Structure 1
Amino acid sequence: MSDTRKIAEEVIWALGGRENITSVSHCATRLRVMVKRKEDIDQKKAESIDKVKGAFFHSGQYQLIFGTGTVNRIYEEVIALGVTGSAKDEQKEAAAKSGNLFQRSVRAFGDVFVPIIPILVATGLFMGIRGLILQEQVLAFFGMTPEQIPQNVITFSEVLTDTAFAFLPALVAWSAFRVFGGNPVIGMVLGLMLVSPALPNAYDVAADKAEALTFFGFIPVLGYQGSVLPAFIAGLIGAKLERSIRKHTRESLDLILTPFLTLLFMIILSLFIIGPVFHTVEEFILNSTVAILNWPFGISGLIIGSLNQLIVVTGVHHVFNLLEIQLLERFGYNQYNAIITCSVVAQGGAALAVGLKTKSKKLKAIALPSSFSALLGITEPAIFGVNLRYIKPFVMALIGGGIGGFAASLAGLKATGMAITAIPGVLLYLNGQIIMYLAVNFLAVATAFVLTWLFGFSDKMIDLDDENE
């Protein structure tokens, strides 16, 4: 019997047998399983299976971390043993119905913004590259000054860095329609209407270069360039409205009436009610976020850096995407990124200490690769496979993240983008901040490593019954 087949059999047994497994799918690193009864799962057995780097419930699914490549082979063996497979989208739909209202709301919020993040990552990298190229020291190396850069080059760089944020409402509305069951194309057009050139430009209104239109003497109407929350709410309500209209429209008239009525009602609702109300809410959120990030003496970095990975464990960290997007749209930089990066790499530092200190070959095989994953910005293997399992390393990593975040806040580090952290995040600090960025990350890793080595872990913490060596 191959090792892969043996692991697949142990997975099925730990999950309560084939009769307890509804379906199984996988992503790049995890086996995702829908089960009938959570209480039939043997958590300790699941975590002790060879090559499993972590096992936990998340988003209504039981997920086992195997890593890239390995998960594909395990999945094929599990299917061969008679377990029903399903597409990831099908599982996601089933998982979306699980959990309480808050969990489902956060999950839906994340589902809307996750597809948009790669575009914002690319935009952030363009900003970083432009910042690097436009540095006086770099230009001087080529015998140039900033004044000598052709205007065409400046314009081209603005196309790369400004487009995504100028049409952000269209991206958000498109994704919201997709998540909430509407036609994404209708969502895209609704979003584009929110930034129509026929409306006063939001940036010009903010700079007093234009005035908002006034309807009924008190309702301001303008474009919503760079806004997120109005487009999200418009997409949510619009998708529900479209489905309702389609349900009550004859099939022969559906092609004409459904998009017409959806766009007509939604643009009126968006410009006169949703836009003004939720733009105010968005401004309040942004101003509150900026106020917290600007707390003196690095207090905000200490608090956020300490608590960030606790929030990741709960699975509600996607709500912070809105904050980062708003920071980038308004200011062109993101102070939050450097702080949370410290919390990420600190988990890697703690896992590295465990991996180097333990004499358990099995734990080494999990901890060392997990620490490297964390240094690339992926913390789940380190958190669920190592640190959280023994508690103290996780606590030491939280302390390391807080110390690193404190230093990042004091240094005033400002990323040009979002969503990439740790080593890949260097690309967001090309504008003269690289040395300080590396320094605060090293501080976070070193703090977590030393504390874990001295106080956070010993082989006495390992359950010897789980060691099959």
Structure 2
Amino acid sequence: MTKEEIVGQIITAVGGADNINNAWHCMTRLRFDLKDAQKVDYSALEKTPKVVGTKFQSNQLQVVIGTDVADYYGPLASKLGLDEKSQQTSTEKKGAISLFMDTVSGVFGPIVPAIAGAGMIKGLMAGLVALNVISNQTDTYLVIDMIASGVFTFLPFFVAASAARIFKTNQYLAIAIAATLQFPTMTNAVAEGSISAFRLFGVLPVPIFNYAGTVIPIIFAVLALSYIYRWVDKILPQVLRTVFTPTISLFLAGLVTLTIIGPISIHLGNLLADGVAGLFTISPVLAGIVVGAIRPIAIFTGLHHAMTPIALQNFANQGYDMLMPMMFMANMAITGATAAIYFKVKTKEEKSIVLSSAVSGILGITEPALFGILSKYKKAFLAATIGSSIASAFISFFGVRIYGYILSSIFSLPAYIGEYFIFAILGIIIAIASSFAITYFLVPKQEDQDDYTNEIDLHAVTKGTYIPLDNVPDEVFSTKLMGEGYAIQSETGTVFSPVTGEVTSVFPSKHAIGIKTMNGAEVLVHMGIDTVSLDGKGFDVFVKSGDHVTAQTKLAQMDLDYIKNQGKETMVIVLVTNMERVQQFSGVTNLEGDHQAGTVLEKVILNA
């Protein structure tokens, strides 16, 4: 059953859309303000898939879904025509660059295995060709290249599917937009080069561009689709939505992508290329500094394709090129920064991904490193940028150049043999060493605790009195519908992390924080009971999504007096929510009575 169908059943069970004044969600529950609470069919609600419990309290119907409640609020808001702001799970205000990188990182997270595997194959084959072990004209090479290059050629399809999940829109419509960009009509027109644009309705120009392997156009296209889909769904009568919402959304999003989003992205790349060409007329060293600095972000955004024509034109006009050696230095700097992360992560899975990404990087395929690793570690991305800039400036000063087009990998070194060879070698060393050292210095090492074991310690999150979950005055917690754990009545209001892990979500009302440990336990810290209605008042949160935390990390400060004056409970509830992973809970101390923050209260053994 789809999320939309489940939400439809919930709406019916609560008395229909006409019975709902408003709906929102907290960390685990859908909450409804109803016109007539007598119309609720509790039996039907509790039989609905994903609904683990219900409760009516404070004139609100609470439907307990779990920590993935936001995935169900989106379709609910769409059906009811509500504002979806409460889907957001983080309170921090991010800058545009940080938000962009976090978004791209989120989009590429699920794709990393595909691009890492394909990148490794592609890099190895390029190396074998460079060493003349195999010819790129043989059938063997062509077959293996299809396996390796398919992911990169049709990268917009992968990005579309993943971006749809991030932007909470229909995956298949998103893939349809990607298919539009790479439909043979477009790709054939690019190859023929006879026209520059199609004319829609004989008037509107649709520029012809090659979108193969691009990233930014499809991300923004799917973002636009998400807004268009919600707008169309909102204005159409419900009886027409099933057929006409996807039809109109695809048509409008496709037009916007072909006429605005796609062309703007390509033109930005061309503008970057023109700027780089201009720098060389001023000073090759200045060009090295700037090109080295922008190359990693250019690859990250897909704008790097615009630099290739400059290099090819240099070969035609001068017989040599100084831009491609800078690209080489950037790849090596990206590799160095990625290699340093190997010594910062602790799990075998993470180390494996980092290692394969670094190997792909040194073989000339940097997408796995950039999208899978450096987008998550922004200081490492900065280190790669600095290392690339330093090394590119160095080789530019000594006039390092290349006399033929070749992939920028370690296997391309033979092409540099000659008077500039030693400087190319020194440039590689500078690129790798500087980016590695800066990353190693800037990026903190993950804690050792819980990394390779199936056990975690649940620490007391605050100084106060232990309360068994059975005694918590909220049956969603007391009946353990949401998971196992403990509660503690805080004396100070200072709340620390119960585990070592990464913050996965901070609820907008600041009353709940989600944390995931290195070995996969999902832990919820819920401050107070029914405190979502306070809308953040009474809470100061000191962490954000993506932060690494330990039992010594201060998560939040509760204003106990304010919360009590609002008639709310101030106990802090700590739950392990993915109980399917839990083999055993056991207390490690005499749990009754008072405890200091940081005291280990319970040990959780996870399934291997």
The TM-score with structure 2 as length reference comes to: 0.39
Q: Relative contact order (alpha carbons < 8 A, sep ≥ 6): 1 or 2 greater?
A: 1
Higher helix content, 1 or 2: 1
The TM-score with structure 1 as length reference comes to: 0.49
Higher strand content, 1 or 2: 2
